[in-house]
Amino acid sequence: MRPLAFAIVLAGCHAATSPDDAAPDVDDLFPVEVAEGLAPTPPMGWNSWNRFACDLDADLIEQTAEAMVSSGMRDAGYSYVNLDDCWQEVDRDESGHVVPASNFPDGIAPVADAIHALDLKLGIYSDRGTATCGGRTGSQGHEVDDANDYAAWGVDYLKYDNCNADTNAVVQQTQYETMSQALAASGRPIVFSLCAWAFHEWSVDAGQLWRVSADIVDGWGSSNFNLVQTRRAAAYAQPNGWNDPDMLEVGNGGMSDVEYRAQFSLWALSAAPLIAGNDLRTMSDETRAILTNEEVIALDQDALGLQGAPVRYDGQASVWAKPLNQSGTRGVILFNESEISLPVTVSWAEIGLRPGKATVRDLWAHKDLGQATDRFTATVQPHEALTLRVVGTEPQIPTGTVSVSELTPTYAANLLGLVERDASNGTDAPGEGAALSVDGTTYERGLGVSAPSRVIYRLGRRCSSFHAVAGMDDGATGTASFEVWGDDERLFQSGPVAASAAQTVDVDVSGKSRLTLLVTSAGDISDADLADWADATLECE
């Protein structure tokens, strides 16, 4: 599996020559450079399916590309114009090659040329089965032929669906990996978007983005369901690998503008691909304003590549946050799913900042809201996602011998609700865990998590070692793998750990600025993957 690192590339920063050279409130890892690769930030573009389904042709695609330019979307970061199903014929030619349908009379290459001339990129669609969901020819048994044809035509992106194919899990994985390998060997860089309708851990190695849910429909319930599925896999997101809750429905008419702004904000904070699905040629000014809000887009395209995660649940209100690529900076959403207005509060400690003063900016009003001390409260309207940029101070660097559960993490993502301190992970609700217990031993201190989980702490190059007992919580029936990272170096990897198989972790973290505790599922994610970092401690100056 591709290493899941919090990869850091220093940009214009220097290492201190002694501990006193680094002030305790300065994080020497900011800013980071954008990573290399096919999708160092989540892809942004447009796809034909949500609005047009099979009613597409070459003129529509070229007109949409022109509208992407004239609307300002290209300048805001959108680059892909993606054909979905029904661009191809039902049958292949005598040589086994896929044939563009009559709605593309000159083929795909001229469409690619027209799109490239606008400084945009072309995406295309196929399926791992014998036929696509729309009944056109699939790629099963023709992966190399199709990948080479896409490369020859100038295609830059492939969405690969899951219809009309063997449902055996091993066959499914093999077919997706076969197309991944064919694209890599085609001689052209082509982003691979896996559409397997659910998260699979092998997707992390196979493509640059992967669907985590069923197809979205243009409604509030569907949007929130797909968001939850994306949240469950948050720990896997990183540059060149993104959880995909499916395409945006903004502007298609099934939700209010408040709800569309919420969807757009939550997709952006979740580091999800921003793939519009409306008619760009006729969209309203309000829809265009949503899709081109560069302050919200910046949350999505942030170079750190972390996926926003909930930090608090209050009934039908929740607080979501993620660190951004500037010291002390967080993207924050106060989200109200209810039908009535609610006051929602975020504390700085919840989003990994030190108590004290921080500045707050509303990214939809494009307005600075001034400074707030320790916390911020706002009244959030029904179905609104109040979207904020908060700039405060990073947590203090630990000193002495300290339990990790006493520290404020910079970031925490977890399958089931919140990471628990000094308790096992229970359910989605916070505080429902029991005492930490691994291989028959009970521990007073540590972290209870549910894989996949990622927790990040500041070290400031002032700590020497990390110690823990890593294992499945007693009573858990799942399996997980434990990893310890110092900056972008993996320092410990357990391999799959089942019940009653605790591992002692003793890791040298000297000279490291960040500690990342990563727990993956060692297979597809499951609510049974309850794991503990028991007696987790740091030795620091």
Q: Which residues are catalytic?
A: 161, 215
Using CA atoms, how far apart are residues 24 and 155, in angstroms rounded to an integer?
Answer: 49
Residue 344 backbone phi and psi in degrees, to 5: -130, 135
Whether residue 361 contacts residue 389, with contact meaning beta carbons closer than 8 Å, is answered with yes
Joined tokens for residue 267:
């997709």
Whether residue 34 contacts residue 40, with contact meaning beta carbons closer than 8 Å, is answered with yes
Using CA atoms, how far apart are residues 110 and 102, in angstroms rounded to an integer?
Answer: 14
473 CB neighbour count, 10 Å cutoff = 26
Using CA atoms, how far apart are residues 61 and 4, in angstroms rounded to an integer?
Answer: 36
Joined tokens for residue 483:
């990893």
Q: How is 321-361 classified by DSSP, letter by letter? A: EEE-SSTTEEEEEEEE-SSS-EEEEEETGGGT--SSEEEEE
The candidate with the shortest Cα–Cα distance to 200, out of 526, 501, 456, 499, is: 526
Whether residue 123 contacts residue 47, with contact meaning beta carbons closer than 8 Å, is answered with yes
Residues 6+ apart with CB under 8 A from 154: 108, 109, 112, 113, 116, 122, 188
Using CA atoms, how far apart are residues 245 and 231, in angstroms rounded to an integer?
Answer: 9
Whether residue 321 contacts residue 332, with contact meaning beta carbons closer than 8 Å, is answered with yes
